[in-house]
Structure 1
Amino acid sequence: MFVMPDIPPRANLKIQLENLMEAAGDAVFQLNDKGEILSASKRTIELIKPDGILIGLLLSDLAVPEENTLISAAVTQAIQSGRHSQVNVQIKTHASVHCFDFLITAYATGQGNMELLAVGRNIAQQLATEESLRHLATHDALTGLPNRSLLSDRLSMAMAQARRTGKGFAVVALDLDGFKKINDALGHPVGDVLLREASMRLRDTLRDTDTLARVGGDEFIALLPNALTEADIQIVARRMIAAIQLPFEIQGHALYVSTSIGIATYPNHGDNEVALLAHADLALYRAKETGKARYVLYDPQTFTKPVHDVSIEAAMFEAVKNGEFLLHYQPVVDATTRQIMGFEALMRWMHPDLGLVPPIQFIPMAENNGLITLLGAWVLKAACVQIRHFEEAAGRQLYISVNVSPRQFRNDHFLETVDEAMKLSDLQGSQLLLEITEGILMSDPDHAETLLTAIAARGVRIAIDDFGTGYSSLAYLKRFPINTLKIDRTFVKDLPGSVKDAAICDVVISLASHLNLNTIAEGVEDEQQLQFLAKQGCTLIQGFLTGHPMLPDEAIAALKANSAAAFVI
């Protein structure tokens, strides 16, 4: 039978206390009723004052000056209650300052005195972890920008402040034009770097009081608090556009993207978060639809009601069955003679209730859900048949240009669709121009080469759309049977005033000329742009100056008003 040794009560208490002090906490002190240190554990001495003396000091003296009264108050509370108190304070250690969570317990000694045991736990790492978790919950992991959750909080604060002060604020929605092509062509690692660098450029255009949030993919929202005039907002938008238009140098690639911007203001365009974001997003769609690399301020008088993407996607399948999709045709004009040489077919969706749904809304969905293959085949066949009717009206040969989506291009039956369209319309191969993106070429070069060679063998022409905005490699101009380069509107809109854009257009046109390729400049909106491009030797131009996208009857009227010209493409 085990028999406890005969230890005097006071000695027994002292041994238990010493054992507890060595076993418990990161910092353990025995204090008198004045808060003076009577003893400390070995670990405490090593941590706080390995080469000094702690005995006799006040525990509060170890805290940073602005917090020493917190310890004094905790000591007093523990003594008065006869139980314990708790306090978080910054303690000066020999290496740095750490946050400790102290539990201070009062007890009576054998002599009837009151002493205290202060057990402290270093919670600096815990606080850092908690702060890291809070940051992850409210910030985008890739860019470090606020995420949608934090944006929502700041929008709520901005609205509360605006209601108090009577001063409004602006919400700016933007995304990167051409990002998907780069992501598809060069992969997500390059795309991620591009997003990080773009986010830094955008943040640098804003004030410290502004918020820039990444809300998904290449989509960003900027919150500009306090009253801003429309002129102020336009200055910010122009700064953003200019910052993104400069080339990005990433892993040896010179990448060009632009940004389109939609703007809504509080309270003019909405008095709640959902309305503000929806209206800014709708303005963004309008900016992309009317040229990209530009900003549009929401106008409740002219903008249709925004519809949630889920509703649009559900309606798309019914729209295919109900024949709600139609084609508009934009003239492509000889840069020198001003004669209409052909048309680009552009798909539109006329919803019976919503009206005209912007292509920027439904085409990405159709690409994702697979409908683009069905729609693309219909566009190709319908456009080829329609160009025959245009030729009858014009009394001369014309060509038709049709965009090919990445998913459509990868479809095993695409070549059969081309053959069916040409057979149905009895078009010559040279009258059909298929527009593909640089991303299509680079995502699977071997497949692209095989398919494009087969297409070229049929006499069909091939154009690179938005040339220069993605991964512009001279190698594929040599490898693939390309006939035409389309100069993106982002390089045209500031002509002839922009020296850099003028240089880029000059280089592209000169390159195409030496390789015996045609050039089509998109987005030509004024006479000065046309004159500059024609002087540089651009073959064809396309834009609002010479014709908006139009319905077939309007296109026929435009042809009849246009004098005859020989077919050149």
Structure 2
Amino acid sequence: MNLRLADYIREKIEPILQDWEDFAHTLFHGEHMDKTGLRDHARVMLMEIADDLDSNQSDAKQTAKPKGEEPKSGVETWAEVHGGDRQSSGFSIVETVSEFRALRASVVSHWRQTHPALSGEQLEDLTRFHEAIDQAVAESLEKYASVKEMETRLFGAILVASPDPIYVLDLKGRFVYVNKATAELFALEPEEIIGKSTFDLGFPFAADFQRNLDKVIAEQSTHRGRFVHTFSSGEGERFDYLLAPVLDENQNAEATVCISRDVTQQALAEEKIWHNAHHDFLTGLPNRRLFLDRLEQEVKHANRSNLPLSVLYMDLDGFKIVNDSLGHEAGDQLLTDAAKRLTDCVREEDTVARLGGDEFTVIVAGAKHREDLELVAQAIIGALERPFPLPHQPVQISVSVGIASYPKDANSPSALLVAADQAMYQAKKSGSNRMCFFDRSLNNEEPSPQRRRAE
């Protein structure tokens, strides 16, 4: 009668352990270890796997195990003990993982020699055995990583956080080991991945990934990166990854471990939070916070490039009347339409922002001549004086534009904004649809409410 795999492992435990020992002797750090050290906790490991094969496995456990997610009992597992002992003995991560690969190969080889044609139950046993080994690798590497230096502890922290795809690459960037999560993510069988590089697999992030891989090998440092890609499995869009070098006994890099994580939802949520914090909710334009940050960056660029920088400060004349007479919904529509018209009047690289209420600004870089700024301001005036087709009735407003330039009119971002605001105040005093350039002789005149807020 054909034995089930659990009974077969118990019956053939010694030949399997001998294979484990023989393979461990080929590893640099196992070459001089005695039999007890080489076999480590392999016997207990195999017995636990056999017991696991005999046990009933729920659907949840069957799903969790190949991903390394099986709930912990609170008692240290044999795999965790093995990982800790191998790290203490100087084994590299590649060596530690390779022992599990050798164990997997030994059991499968013996099993197939005895059962060249597998039945349904035997195939199920073999699948569960592979899943148990995957769980063991995750537990062993987690323990291994937890006792290493900071960069390896980071590797361990990522393992603890989730059942992430883990793979090992040689010095040329070719895969030498992939776990089940990696194969599932790539929608490929492990044998279709091993020996290939990210270039061979046609991944669009391959060039950037290889550059970072080369840097990790050359500098023997860790690297955290991100790539954007949706794999054939349909999973993911944005991934973070950690590269960590594997060093041999001479402290030379011999391989690289990579752990990647799908952070699509987190990244999109962070981008949304950032966008909401830096953009006006109504118009979608940069808000005061983002405007001031960009203005500071543009001033630094102007200093480096020795090119002028100008700010146009605008206030919509007549907006309050529209808002009060037609209601806030109409006022909001007018502001939204005005923002669109302002954006259409400037270059893509110019920043249009809403500072609040009916106040808008534009950062214009590189305008060397006064006439260039006049053309921009006149285009804005012309765009905003056209009637706005609001739901109840078309309305017409005007705009006051103040213009100040760096470094001619101000020596700092905040001073430049104040100067543009003051020029806008003078334009408003002059009548509707007017532009006014900053004039130092106006410094002693009463500032506008907008200017006081800016200060």
Fold similarity call, TM over 0.5: yes
Please report how far the alpha carbon of residue 26 of structure 1 lies from its aligned counterpart in structure 2 after TM superposition: 5.7
2:165 paired with 1:28:
yes
Mark the CA change 1:66 to 1:262 in structure 2 (over 3 Å): closer, same or farther: same
Aligned partner of 2:210 in structure 1 is 69
Match of 1:263 among 376, 392, 403: 403
In 2, are the aligned partners of 1:212 and 1:220 still within 8 Å (CA)? Answer: yes
Alignment of 1:76-115 (within 5 A): 76=217, 87-90=225-228, 93-94=231-232, 95=234, 98-103=237-242
1:209-228 aligned at under 5 Å gives the runs: 209-228=349-368
Q: Return the alpha-carbon distance in structure 1 between the equivalents of residues 382 and 179 of structure 2.
A: 63
Gaps of 5+ in 2: 1-9, 14-41, 50-78, 80-99, 101-128, 140-158, 249-253
1:240-251 equivalences under 5 Å are: 240-251=380-391
Determine if contact 2:316/2:398 at 8 Å carries over to the other structure: yes
Whether the aligned pair in 1 keeps the contact of 2:351 and 2:363 (CA below 8 Å) is yes
**What letter is aligned with 2:327?**
G
TM-score (norm 1): 0.45
Change (3 A) 1:189 1:50: farther
Change (3 A) 1:149 1:56: same
Percent identical: 30
Q: Which amino acid aligns with 1:268?
A: K
Separation (CA, whole Å) in 2 of partners of 1:227 and 1:115:
53
Post-superposition offset of 1:215 = 0.6
Contact 1:174 1:261 in 2 (8 A): yes
Residue among 279, 282, 285 paired with 2:422 = 282
1:148 corresponds to which of 283, 288, 295: 288
In structure 2, relative to structure 1, the CA distance for the partners of 1:241 and 1:310 (3 Å cut) is closer
Structure 1 Cα separation of the partners of residues 218 and 225 of structure 2: 11
User: Is the 2:422–2:447 contact (alpha carbons within 8 Å) kept by the matching residues of 1?
Assistant: no
**Which residue of structure 2 aligns with residue 232 of structure 1?**
372
Matches within 5 A, 1:303-318: 304-307=444-447, 309=449
Secondary structure of the 1:8 match is: helix
Secondary structure class of the residue paired with 1:170: strand
- Decide whether aligned partners of structure 1 residues 226 and 96 sit closer, same or farther in structure 2, where only a CA change above 3 A counts: farther
Q: Matches of 1:17 and 1:87 in 2, distance apart?
A: 29
CA distance in 2 between counterparts of 1:30 and 1:141 reads: 43
Instruction: Give the secondary structure class of the aligned counterpart of 2:441.
Output: coil
* Cα separation, 2, equivalents of 1:189 and 1:251: 10
| Inter-CA distance 46–260: structure 2 relative to 1 (3 Å threshold) | same
- d(CA) in 2 for partners of 1:103 and 1:126? 17
1:140 is paired with a residue whose SS is coil
Q: C-alpha deviations, 1:511-567, integer Å up to 9, x for none?
A: xxxxxxxxxxxxxxxxxxxxxxxxxxxxxxxxxxxxxxxxxxxxxxxxxxxxxxxxx
Match of 1:191 among 302, 312, 331: 331
TM-score (structure 2 length as normaliser) = 0.56
Amino acid at match of 1:65: A
Q: Match of 1:8?
A: 43
Q: Which residue of 1 aligns with 2:262?
A: 122
CA distance in 2, matches of 1:29, 1:73: 18
What letter is aligned with 2:210?
T
**Structure 1 residues 53, 217: closer, same or farther in 2, change over 3 A?**
farther
**Partner residue, 1:203:** 343
**Residues 1:175 and 1:124: Cα distance change in structure 2 (over 3 Å):** same
Matches within 5 A, 1:153-164: 153-164=293-304
Distance 1:30 1:65, change over 3 A: closer
Return the alpha-carbon distance in structure 2 between the equivalents of residues 206 and 311 of structure 1.
24
Quick check: which one's helix share is greater?
A: 2
Q: What is the RMSD of the two structures over their aligned residues, measured on CA atoms?
A: 3.9
Bigger radius of gyration among the two: 1
Identify if the C-alpha distance between structure 1 residues 158 and 77 changes in structure 2 by more than 3 Å, giving closer, same or farther: closer
Q: CA offsets per residue over residues 128-152 of structure 1, 9 Å max, x none?
A: 3333333233222221212222222
> What is the alpha-carbon distance in structure 2 between the residues aligned to residue 71 and residue 161 of structure 1?
29
Counterpart of 1:168, as a letter, is P
> Between Structure 1 and Structure 2, which shows a larger proportion of strand residues?
1
Residue of structure 2 in register with 1:499 after alignment = none
Maintained 8 Å contact 1:37/1:59: no
Structure 1, unaligned runs of 5 or more: 109-113, 314-569
**Cα pair 1:278 1:306 within 8 Å, conserved:** no
The aligned runs of 1:433-444 (5 Å cut-off) are: none
Do 1:151 and 1:211's aligned partners in 2 also have CA atoms closer than 8 Å?
A: yes
Q: Tell me if structure 2 keeps the 8 A contact 1:151–1:213.
A: yes
